Amino acid sequence: MTRSRLAVAIAALGVAALGACGSPSAPSPGSATDGAGQTVASCSKDGLKLVTPGKLTVGTDSPAYEPWFVDNDPSNGKGFESAVAYAIADKLGFPKDEVTWQVVPFNNAIAPAPKNFDFDVNQISISEQRRKAVDFSSGYYDVRQAVVTYKGSPIDGKTAIADLKGAALAAQVGTTSYTAIVDQIEPTQDPKVFDTNDLAVQALKNKQIDGVVVDVPTAFYMVAAQLDDGVIVGQLPMVGQPEQFGAVLDLHSPLTPCVTKAVDALRADGTLEKLQEQWLTNAGAPELK
């Protein structure tokens, strides 16, 4: 997804290699390396090239939607992406009072133009097409599929995939959401197919179907903005290579390997998983068993 409302092609994850410097066999302390083991940048705080010296500038759009942000205030540290941004900042050596936020419309973030931020977090999917215009960190969120319904529906409150097999489910044509219905839920009746998610939402409002399967960001948007009585039944297990959100940086930014190093460390030490549990799962998207 681009934000929660835009569909994009799933692409292989990777960070563009930047020009090497230093010895490939003995990286300097605080440096990051590319895929070939070449030292590409110093990640010591004093060595970072920033938009504003001494401050880490993070971009995102406005309004900033829940559960990615809370109260449309990225600076409060609440919401998944706000929390992730501050966690990245901490890994780079910046306390909260040295982080500033910049309003950046979605299209500006991925446009091939100089940036007024050091990195941007805005539910932006990593894709090879976008890599032609901007850099990405490694992925900080693996996008999963979710089932959306309405309060009081036949599947409202269900906790297991097996409980969904008899439901009338739908998805947008040609999407991974449709594949998830067929391959993971294996319903007893053929899923309905719609040209757009908006049409599927209308069918759900009319109670012509029991549920719609979409990616988790879109599920949150549907519940918050499109359905008066919408609920997320739950998330389906991850299958295959996931679509991922990554931090966006200026093309060939010397900061890219350092942000990637920070994201990788947050994944390795379990921080990303904990933040996802806190801000996404507990926000109303439980795991389906």
- Nearest CA to 140 out of 251, 13, 284, 5 is that of 13
Question: Which 8-state DSSP code applies to residue 201?
Answer: H
Question: With a threshold of 0.85, does the pTM exceed it?
Answer: no
Smallest Cα–Cα separation from 196: which of 188, 184, 204?
204
Amino acid in the structure at residue 153? S
H or E element at residue 57: strand 56-60
SS3 36: coil
The CATH number of 31-142+244-281 is 3.40.190.10
Query: Are both 31-142+244-281 and 145-235 of the same fold?
Result: yes
Domain ranges (residues) in the chain:
31-142+244-281, 145-235
Per-residue pLDDT of the chain (289 residues; tens, 9 = 90+): 444 333 333 333 333 333 332 333 333 334 454 433 434 457 999 999 999 999 999 999 998 888 899 999 999 999 999 999 999 999 999 999 999 999 999 999 999 999 999 999 998 889 898 999 999 999 999 988 999 999 999 999 999 999 999 999 999 998 889 999 999 999 999 999 999 999 999 999 999 999 999 999 899 989 988 999 999 999 999 887 888 999 999 999 999 999 999 999 999 999 999 999 999 887 778 889 9
17 backbone φψ class: left, alpha, beta (φ>0; ψ -120 to 50): beta
145-235: CATH topology is D-Maltodextrin-Binding Protein; domain 2 (3.40.190)
Q: Are 68 and 216 in contact (CB under 8 A)?
A: no
Contact 115, 51 (CB under 8 A): yes
Kindly tell me the number of DSSP H helices and DSSP E strands found in the chain. 7, 12
Enter the DSSP assignment of 141: E
